[in-house]
Chains A and B, each alone.
Chain A
Amino acid sequence: MSARLLVIEDGSEYAEFARVFLGEELVVEEAHSAAEAAARLAAGDVALLLIDLRFERAPAEALVGDLAATAARLFDGDEARALRYLQDQQGTLILEALRRAGHRQPALFVHDFPPRRLANLRALYGDVSAVPSFDAAAIRAALRAALARAAAQGAPPR
């Protein structure tokens, strides 16, 4: 396969990993925010998403999520805790934003989600997989399976 994989992260560690260990099978591209990812996906031809979960290095203004509203809703107005929450969950918030924009590509996280959390993500956002660690063989297998599912559903990437 030579499908395009869009890596969404706040650094470059995932993309480096993907180019080194998955580059023979996938064309790897990078985005560093929801806005960058949406712009790249709007151009078409991306088949898969590999998303980091925590975005600690991204500037607050680049994060998905309303800081004040999150503070008011979840943390009794404490914006520091709300910022940590937005950073800690940014990958799933980006995925939510991309799904709302109509982008349905299978998404993979390198994270050890508890089974109920992963089931919830799938219920909310469709094709979501997770591999607990940077295990190249496991990640390759998960991406191949995701591509096969997408092909079986006849869902062209948009």
Chain B
Amino acid sequence: MSLASDERRRRFARLVHDVAKYVARTARNLPPPPAPVPAWAAAMLARDLYETAPPHRRASFLLDEITRGLDPTPELDRARALLAEADSLEREVRAADETALRRAASIAREVELVLRAAARGTP
């Protein structure tokens, strides 16, 4: 059974607030390459992706939790794939590997864009 429209709107609002906005909190403010990602920014980026606020769970988990029961959309599928890739990079991101940090930041920024687009398309 499809969710009522007001519940769908609330879920997408939560996606934007709880996932999209927080996941890109650091990523969209990193110094551009070739400057290295500062150590403090690497730690913040890891928190944004793997201890996303609220409530300090990984962004991929929050996405799955909030979208449970929603019909699939291309944007949600894309966000899910991106965050799965981010999860696969966790060890390197937490080790402050520059290539992984840059890819993770790119993922985070795209997730924000994709989820905002999904919310805008919610009837």
Binding site for B on A (CB under 8 A): 10-11, 13, 16-17, 20-21, 53-54, 56-57, 84, 88, 110-112, 132-137
Contacts and interface: CB of A to CB of B under 8 A. Distances in A.
Given A112-B116, A133-B24, A134-B28, 18 more contacts: A11-B53, A13-B53, A17-B25, A20-B44, A53-B17, A56-B18, A56-B54, A56-B55, A84-B10, A111-B21, A132-B116, A133-B20, A133-B21, A133-B28, A133-B112, A134-B22, A134-B25, A134-B26
B28 A20 contact: no
A113 to B, nearest CB: 11
Interface string B1-14: 00000000010011
B4 to A, nearest CB: 11
Interface in B24-53: 24-26, 28-29, 40, 44, 53
16 contacts: A11-B53, A13-B22, A13-B25, A16-B44, A20-B40, A54-B17, A54-B54, A56-B54, A56-B55, A88-B13, A111-B21, A133-B24, A134-B21, A134-B28, A134-B29, A137-B29
Interface of B: 10, 13-14, 16-18, 20-22, 24-26, 28-29, 40, 44, 53-55, 112, 116
Contacts of A56: 18, 54-55
A135 B28 contact: yes
A111 B22 CA distance: 11
Contacts of B13: 88
Contacts of A133: 20-21, 24, 28, 112
Contacts, number: 46
Given A134-B24, A134-B28, A111 B17 contact: yes
A137 B29 CA distance: 8
A121 B72 CA distance: 34
Contact of B54 (A10, A110, A111): A10
